[in-house]
Amino acid sequence: MEPQTRRRAAWVDIQEFLVRAGALAALLVMLFGVVFGLYIQPDAAMHPHLKPGDLLLFYRLPRSCTAGEVVVFTKDGQRRTGRVAARGGDTVEVTDAAALVINGSTVAEPDIYEETPKYDSNVTYPLTLADGEYFILCDARAGARDSRWFGPVQAGEIQGRVIAVLRRNGI
């Protein structure tokens, strides 16, 4: 094979590689920009289920959530995580005895180890959620910034549902 032909073949190989690398980069940008998202848990608000430093993979596409799902959402310009306690149409109350009542029934939460204290904020109870609103609580209830503090979270503020957790000490 002549040197000029070898150079031309090498150039074709480089072009193929660059096209494939570009296609892979475009696919990754689309996947993680549209379908999936990554978020690092910044604090202990979801302790013991999520710990500071945990890497969360969340699914952006379904905008409706059900009670019990952990979601990533934006409120007051800050990205946060929380567990959906109630959704549109539900009536929520946090009692003076630190109990969570949804639709007239006290909620038993076996995986939550703290009481749910009522905050002195602008949220008044009982609170009936409109369609597209969610009441989101953190698992570490004492002092957490959640719907008891800032009120219902709109569906458009929910970034996605957490589908996988990579522990920081497991890397």
Per-residue model confidence (pLDDT) at position 119: 86
3-state secondary structure of 125: coil
Per-residue model confidence (pLDDT) at position 8: 79
3-state secondary structure of 82: strand
Between the alpha carbon of residue 9 and those of residues 3, 122, 129, 155, 157, the distances in Å are: 10, 70, 65, 54, 52
Q: Do 50 and 110 share a domain, yes or no?
A: yes
Q: Do 32 and 56 share a domain, yes or no?
A: no
Q: Do 20 and 59 share a domain, yes or no?
A: no
Residue that is written with structure tokens 């953190």 in the block: 138
Q: Is 53 exposed, middle or buried (0-12, 13-18, 19+ CB in 10 A)?
A: middle
Q: Which of 80, 78, 10 is nearest to 41 (CA)?
A: 80
What is the tens place of the pLDDT at every residue in 144-157? 899 999 999 999 99
Per-residue model confidence (pLDDT) at position 171: 53
CATH number at residue 137: 2.10.109.10
Q: Do 87 and 117 share a domain, yes or no?
A: yes
3-state secondary structure of 146: coil
Residues ≥6 apart with Cβ < 8 Å to 125: 92, 93, 94, 95, 118
Per-residue model confidence (pLDDT) at position 131: 95
Per-residue model confidence (pLDDT) at position 129: 96
Q: Do 6 and 81 share a domain, yes or no?
A: no
Q: Which of 34, 134, 40 is nearest to 80 (CA)?
A: 40
Q: Which domain does 22 fall in, by range?
A: 1-36
Per-residue model confidence (pLDDT) at position 85: 95
Q: Do 31 and 67 share a domain, yes or no?
A: no
Q: Do 14 and 60 share a domain, yes or no?
A: no
pLDDT per 10-residue tile (average), the chain, 171 residues? 75 89 89 88 92 94 87 94 96 91 91 85 90 95 90 95 86 53
What is the tens place of the pLDDT at every residue in 59-70? 998 778 999 999
Residues ≥6 apart with Cβ < 8 Å to 32: 38
**For the chain, how many structural domains are there in total?**
2
Taking a C-beta distance cutoff of 8 angstroms, is the pair 49, 139 a contact? yes
Report the Cα 18 to chain-centroid distance in Å. Answer: 35
Q: Do 67 and 10 share a domain, yes or no?
A: no
Q: What is the pTM of this model?
A: 0.82
Q: Do 158 and 74 share a domain, yes or no?
A: yes
Q: Do 82 and 155 share a domain, yes or no?
A: yes
Q: Do 70 and 110 share a domain, yes or no?
A: yes
E-strand spans in the chain?
A: 36-40, 55-59, 70-75, 78-87, 91-94, 100-102, 105-106, 127-128, 133-137, 153-154, 158-166
Q: Do 21 and 56 share a domain, yes or no?
A: no
